[in-house]
A and B are shown apart, each in its own frame.
Chain A
Amino acid sequence: MPPDLWSLYGPMLRSRLFEEATAKLWHDGRISGELHLGTGEEAIVAGVVSQLRDGDAMALDHRGTAALLMRGVDPVLILREVLGRPDGLCGGRGGHMHLFSKEHLAASSGIVGASGPTGAGFGLAAQYLRPGTITVAFFGEGAMNQGMLMESLNLAAAWQLPVLFVCKDDDWSITTASEGLTGGELAERARGLGVPVIKADGLDVREVWGACGPAIERARAGDGPSFLHARCVHFEGHFLGYQMLRAIRNPLKEIPKISGPLVRSFLHPRGAPLHERVAGLRTVIGAMLETLRDPRRDPGNDPVQRARGALLTEPERLQELESRIEKEMSQVLASALEEVPA
Chain B
Amino acid sequence: MRTSRFTQAVDDALAHAMADDPRIVVFGEDVPMLRRDLLVRFGPGRVRGTPISESAFVGAAVAASMAGLRPVVEVYMVDFLGVCMDALLNHAAKVEAFSGGKWQAPVVVRAPCGGGYGDGGQHEQSLWGWLAHIPGLTVLVPSTPADAGGLMLAALQHDGPVVFLEHKLLSETSLEFLGSGGRATVQYDTPEEGTRGPVPRKWRPLPIGKAVTRRTGGDLAIASLGVGVHRAMEAADLLEAEGISAGVLDLRAVSPLDRDAVRGVVAQTGHLLIVDEDYESFGLSGELAAVVLEAGLPCAYGRVCTQTTIPYARHLEDQVLPNVERICAAARQLVQDPQGT
Contacts and interface: CB of A to CB of B under 8 A. Distances in A.
A283 B117 CA distance: 31
A95 to B, nearest CB: 3
Given A143-B52, A175-B30, A176-B32, A84 B314 contact: yes
Contact of A147 (B38, B55, B183): B55
B41 A97 contact: no
A29 B185 contact: yes
B122 A110 contact: yes
A295 interface: no
Interface residues of A, number: 65
Nearest to A177: B49
B244 to A, nearest CB: 33
A75 B181 CA distance: 25
Contacts of A148: 83
B92 interface: no
A315 interface: no
Contact of A95 (B38, B82, B312): B312
A240 interface: yes
Given A95-B118, A146-B83, A241-B180, A113 B52 contact: yes
A184 interface: no
A114 B136 CA distance: 29
A143 B188 CA distance: 31
Interface in B168-193: 176-183, 185-186, 188
Given A33-B120, A280-B43, A284-B40, A174 B183 contact: no
Interface in B21-58: 29-30, 32-33, 36-47, 49-56
B76 A174 contact: yes
A277 B45 CA distance: 10
Interface in B80-112: 80, 82-83
B118 to A, nearest CB: 3
Contacts of A33: 117-120, 123, 178-179
A145 B51 CA distance: 6
Given A34-B119, A287-B32, A27 B179 contact: no
Interface in B137-186: 176-183, 185-186
B19 interface: yes
Contacts of A246: 181-182
A94 B312 contact: yes
B313 interface: yes
Interface residues of B, number: 57
Interface in B43-81: 43-47, 49-56, 76, 79-80
Contact of A243 (B123, B177, B314): B177
A293 interface: no
Contacts of A261: 37
Contact of B120 (A94, A276, A277): A94
Contacts of B180: 241
Nearest to B18: A271
Interface in A32-84: 32-34, 81, 84
B311 interface: yes
Given A109-B122, A262-B40, A241 B182 contact: yes
A111 B181 contact: no
B333 interface: no
Contacts of A271: 15, 18-19, 41-42
A94 B176 CA distance: 22
B44 A280 contact: yes
B191 to A, nearest CB: 17
Nearest to A98: B120
B30 A174 contact: yes
B111 to A, nearest CB: 14
A79 to B, nearest CB: 14
B121 interface: yes
26 contacts: A27-B185, A29-B186, A31-B118, A32-B118, A32-B188, A33-B118, A33-B119, A33-B178, A84-B316, A92-B311, A93-B311, A95-B120, A97-B123, A110-B122, A174-B52, A176-B29, A181-B51, A246-B182, A258-B36, A265-B38, A265-B41, A268-B41, A271-B15, A271-B41, A277-B40, A281-B40
Interface of A: 26-29, 31-34, 81, 84-86, 90, 92-95, 97-98, 109-113, 142-143, 145-148, 173-176, 178, 180-182, 239-244, 246, 254, 258, 261-262, 264-266, 268, 270-273, 276-277, 279-281, 283-284, 287
* In the A-B complex, the 3 residue pairs with the closest CB atoms: A241-B181, A276-B43, A32-B118
